[in-house]
Amino acid sequence: MVKIAIAGGAGNVGQEIIDVLAATNKHDILVLSRKDATPNDLPPTVTWVKTDYTNLDRLTQTLRGVDTVLSFITAHMDPGSVAQKSLIDAAVRAGVRRFAPSEWASSSFEHMPWNDGKAVIREYLAELNKEKKILEYTLFQPGLFTNYLTHPYRSTKHIQPIETPFDLARRRALVVQGRYEEARITLTTVADLAQVVVRAVEYEGPWPVVGGIRGDDMTLRKVVEMGERVRGGKFTVEKLNADDLKAGVVKSSWMPQPTHPSFTPEEIAALAQRMTAGIVLGISSNTLSVSDEWNQLLPDYEFTKAEKFLREQWRGKELR
């Protein structure tokens, strides 16, 4: 049994991880949150701690005796990465052994400036361990959640379905011209991510700095072909000009609405076109194609294939 602190644990991905960790009944879990409200249905092994990331001394005291910190602090809601840097500093002062920064997606952040804070934290951790290992850490990178491809239907307890450039509901996709055959994307279910985190917490060997997690990895054409099989019909694939997208202009017949709990409806409305442009460009640049370090370290774990998952989720469903 180890003591685990989960920062930003009120978020969707954090809640998924908490549920699976708590279900093992092996660990004491601290949920660090800036929110006042304490959920009424917390398992007995989970403690809610209202946290002020600007108070380094108090944060250090909170982390005393903690073995592993998992961070889900949203990058674009942490200007200057102040909260997450403070969390890292407190973890070092408190003698925490392992740390997972708020990653949970891509291998790089090209064309997606809302993730710049994640790059800042990567540099901060690398500098911390430059001379010797001060804090063991891993960058959990599962690519795109396969669960998003069930939009508008929810396919997991906490993750809100998000409309992506691959719209299985209406059998359509947006890609960058010239990258349809070559660009790759990793699709991993939220359930597989959670199971990997549970096993990583208990893993006795050293954590890899880059912690890729692959459910499936395929070209964009293969994603579309899979979607056609799952949905039983031909997709309309619109191939967009890269220069237009780099200018933040999406010349397409439809526009994904990348709704997310960390963005207000007003922010989504204002940023939809630029975010869609960045996501489509990012996918074309393989930012969501990740490595497989955790697959190799956990050879006995069977990852869920994207097509199998999507067939089960879409069975009997129609567009609503």
Angle (nearest 5°) at CA 46 between 40 and 52: 85
Asked if residue 304 lies in contact with residue 214, where contact means CB atoms within 8 angstroms, the answer is no
Does residue 289 have a pLDDT over 60? yes
| Dist. CA 9–CA 48, nearest whole Å | 9
3-state secondary structure of 51: coil
Note the pTM of the prediction, 2 decimals.
Answer: 0.94
In degrees and rounded to multiples of 5, residue 74 shows phi and psi of -70, 125
Q: Is 117 left (phi over 0), alpha (psi -120 to 50) or beta?
A: alpha
Nearest to 215 by CA among 299, 303, 137, 281: 303
Residue 264 CA to residue 54 CA, distance in Å, equals: 24
> What was the pLDDT predicted at 271?
77
Predicted confidence band of residue 319 (pLDDT cuts 50, 70, 90): low
CATH of 3-137, one of 3.90.1300.10, 3.40.50.720, 2.40.50.140, 2.40.10.220: 3.40.50.720
Kindly tell me if the per-residue pLDDT of 134 is higher than 70. Answer: yes
Contact between 141 and 103 under an 8 Å Cβ cutoff? The reply is yes
pLDDT of amino acid 260? 65
User: What is the percent of the chain with per-residue pLDDT over 90, rounded to a whole number?
Assistant: 85
Is 276 buried (19+), middle (13-18) or exposed (0-12) by CB count in 10 A? buried
How many degrees, rounded to 5, is the angle at CA 84 between CA 284 and CA 22?
Answer: 90
Distance spanning both ends of the chain, measured CA to CA: 45
- Amino acid 37: pLDDT: 65
Question: Which stretch of 107-111, 220-224, 270-274 has the lowest confidence by average pLDDT?
Answer: 270-274
Mean pLDDT of 156-163: 91
- Residue-wise pLDDT for 12-28, tens only, equals 999 999 999 999 999 99
What's the length of the chain? 320
**Position 193, amino acid:** L
Mean pLDDT of the chain: 94
Say what percent of the chain tops pLDDT 70: 95
- Residues 248-259: what's their mean pLDDT? 89
- Give me the residue spans of the domains in the chain: 3-137, 144-187+216-288+304-314
pLDDT at 66 over 80: yes
State the pLDDT at residue 62.
Answer: 97
183 band by pLDDT with thresholds 50, 70 and 90? very high
The pLDDT of residue 261 is: 64
Between 275 and 145, whose confidence is greater? 145
Q: Which CATH architecture has domain 144-187+216-288+304-314?
A: Alpha-Beta Complex (3.90)
In the prediction, which pLDDT does 203 show?
97
pLDDT greater than 90 at residue 136? yes
Task: Return the pLDDT at 57.
Answer: 97
The answer to whether the Cα torsion of 105, 303, 30, 64 is positive or negative is negative
**Closest by alpha carbon to 85, among 140, 142, 135?**
135
Give pLDDT, residue 266.
72
Query: Average pLDDT, stretch 186-198?
Result: 98
What is the rounded distance in angstroms from the CA atom of residue 12 to the CA atom of residue 261? 8
- pLDDT on residue 98: 98
Query: Cα–Cα distance between 134 and 309 in angstroms, integer?
Result: 40
Task: Tell me if domain 3-137 and domain 144-187+216-288+304-314 are identical in fold.
Answer: no
